[in-house]
């Protein structure tokens, strides 16, 4: 295969992101659903990556194809928009979601792995175990991102069987991380309640739907209060800490530090994210999140009074719906 400079630069960028050949090969095998020999041939340049393969690899590893053709700026760092189409999922969408599972599962082999999640909306790693909460966020995404000839109602929205399995695996994988820190906006449930009221007002959520959501949300609050009290996940024993921010959080930020990876995510469009594997971006965002943690109130383990007050207030918000 005749290779040009652009293709050489892409291969070099892939190797720069994951320098260990064994880890790189395993990553690409899992990511592209290829046999090892097929990956070896691509890395040797004997067979070209297809366009869809390059899209997945560049998006996952944080490689900017724009930068490959010279679009570089001194103060600019690469981000990739992980735009999973939840309204019409295909194999590439599922692969992107499954790669998050792969990253979190690496925490099993890294005792120093850490996640910081600072959010104004409920984190997916916590709510995906609750069927109707998960359906609500899926419904909201589809409502805001897709056009329909008829009204889309909450009662019409259900995840595919493959998506349900991915969600189950995502929850389990998130618990593999050695230390997880959640920082919540103090009005996080107030914002969610406002969204629910809006969809009720335009008749897309029925009274029966509301009852299902309230049951799930109250159970979620009970479970999170117990989790905050224990400070660890029962099934893995890994540490988890909850903080309540003293100020409003404008969007959701997540930093994942595991093995060779430093992943920064900024939540967009409710369920999507812009993602970077750039280490300078990671250091910048993680330092900012650590500053937020220092100015927040810890409600895990020792923060008994604050924890009880916070969760009681959230139950009042949900019960008032």
CB 80 within 8 A of CB 274: yes
CA distances from 47 to 5, 24, 41, 44 (A): 15, 17, 6, 8
**Cα of 237 vs its chain's centroid, Å:** 22
Strand partners, 82: 273
pLDDT band at residue 72 under the 50/70/90 scheme:
very low
The pLDDT tens digits of the residues spanning 80-100 come to: 666 788 888 888 788 888 888
Percent of the chain with pLDDT over 70: 89
pLDDT band at residue 281 under the 50/70/90 scheme:
confident
What's the CATH fold of domain 5-68?
A: 434 Repressor (Amino-terminal Domain) (1.10.260)
Residue 303 φ then ψ, to 5°: -85, 60
The pLDDT tens digits of the residues spanning 114-170 come to: 999 999 999 999 999 999 999 999 999 999 887 766 788 999 999 999 999 999 999
- Domain locations in the chain? 5-68, 80-319
30 CB-contact burial (10 Å; exposed 0-12 / middle 13-18 / buried 19+): middle
What mean pLDDT comes out for the span 16-21? 80
Q: Which of 23-37, 76-90, 175-189, 255-269 has the lowest mean pLDDT?
A: 76-90
In CATH, the architecture of 80-319 is 2-Layer Sandwich (3.30)
Residue 274 has pLDDT above 80, yes or no: yes
pLDDT at 26: 87
Task: Please give the span between the terminal C-alpha atoms of the chain, in angstroms, as a whole number.
Answer: 63
């Amino acid at each position: 295969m005749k290779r040009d400079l652009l293709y050489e630069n892409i291969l070099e960028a892939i190797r720069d992101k994951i320098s260990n050949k064994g880890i790189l090969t395993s990553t690409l095998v899992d990511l592209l659903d290829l046999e090892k020999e097929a990956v070896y041939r691509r890395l040797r340049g004997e067979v070209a990556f297809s366009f869809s393969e390059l899209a997945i690899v560049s998006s996952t590893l944080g490689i900017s194809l724009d930068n490959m053709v010279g679009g570089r700026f001194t103060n600019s760092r690469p981000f990739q928009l992980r735009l999973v189409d939840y309204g019409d999922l295909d194999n590439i969408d599922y692969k992107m979601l499954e790669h998050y599972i792969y990253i979190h599962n690496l925490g099993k082999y890294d005792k120093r792995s850490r996640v910081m999640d600072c959010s104004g909306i409920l984190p997916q790693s916590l709510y995906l175990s609750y069927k109707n909460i998960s359906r609500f966020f899926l419904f909201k995404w589809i409502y805001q991102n897709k056009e329909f000839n008829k009204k889309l109602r909450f009662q019409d929205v259900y995840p595919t069987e493959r998506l349900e399995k991915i969600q189950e695996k995502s929850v389990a994988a998130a618990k593999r991380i050695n230390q997880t820190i959640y920082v919540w906006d103090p009005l996080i449930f107030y914002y969610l309640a406002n969204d629910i009221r809006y969809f009720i007002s335009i008749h897309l959520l029925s009274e029966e739907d509301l009852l299902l959501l309230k049951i799930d949300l109250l159970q979620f609050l009970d479970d999170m209060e117990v989790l905050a009290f224990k400070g660890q996940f029962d099934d893995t024993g890994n540490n988890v800490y909850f903080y309540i921010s003293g100020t409003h959080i404008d969007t959701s930020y997540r930093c994942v530090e595991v093995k060779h990876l430093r992943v920064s995510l900024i939540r967009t469009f409710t369920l999507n994210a812009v993602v970077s594997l750039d280490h300078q971006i990671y250091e910048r965002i993680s330092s900012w999140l650590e500053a937020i943690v220092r100015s927040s109130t810890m409600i895990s383990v020792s923060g008994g009074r604050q924890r009880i007050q916070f969760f009681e207030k959230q139950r009042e918000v949900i019960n008032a719906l």
